[in-house]
A = this chain, B = another copy of it.
Amino acid sequence: MKESQHPDTHIEARLRVRYAETDQMGMAYYANYLVWFEVGRAEYCRHRGLAYRDLERQHGIYLPVAEAYCRYITPARHDEEILVRTRLSRLRTRAMTFHYQILRASDETLLAEGHTTHIVLNATGRPRTLPPELARALKG
């Protein structure tokens, strides 16, 4: 998986389409792309030195999704290797947006793309601001 110093560059995660993720149309079921987005942003955070679980456990920071969008271009098939390219497209003190591209690894065909917007909450579910050191880390 690639890492870059430039904040706009994407971080890449790699996964394989599971049989569980297919449906009877013979392609990956549409809700699973949002799961892959999650795999992508977990990888993004990890490459920025922030394990997502530490955000929750050590910092008491939760990032529930406020909005999700996906555009489906070409179906992903069972057993195909998939790349999830994630970049942080917007970072404010109380919200952030990630953009994702889902590609077939073999030929880098774009299969889908989308984004998720997250709000910053504390452990009791109240809005809070992202500590500056975490914001810096996320920007990379």
Chain A positions within 8 Å of B, measured between CB atoms, are: 16, 18-20, 22-27, 29-32, 34-35, 38-39, 42, 51-53, 56, 62, 64-72, 75, 77-79, 116
| Nearest B residue to A43, CB-CB | B16
Residue of B nearest to A23 (CB): B22
Residues of the B chain whose Cβ atoms lie less than 8 Å from the Cβ of A22: 23-24
Integer count of this chain's copies in the complex: 4
Given contacts A66-B72, A72-B67, whether A29 and B24 have CB atoms under 8 Å apart is: no
Q: For residue A35, which residues in chain B have a CB less than 8 angstroms away from its CB?
A: 18, 20, 31
Looking at the assembled complex, report how far the CB atom of A106 sits from the nearest CB atom of chain B, in whole angstroms.
Answer: 13
Inter-chain contact B30/A18, CB cutoff 8 Å:
no
Besides A23-B24, A66-B72, 11 other CB < 8 A contacts?
A18-B38, A18-B42, A19-B24, A23-B23, A24-B27, A24-B78, A31-B34, A31-B35, A34-B34, A53-B78, A67-B72
- Distance of A34 Cα from B31 Cα, bound (Å): 6
B27 touches A26 (CB 8 A): no
Residues of B within 8 A of A18 (CB): 35, 38-39, 42
Once the chains are docked, how many angstroms separate the CA of A24 from the CA of B25?
Answer: 6
Minimum C-beta distance from A77 to chain B (A): 7
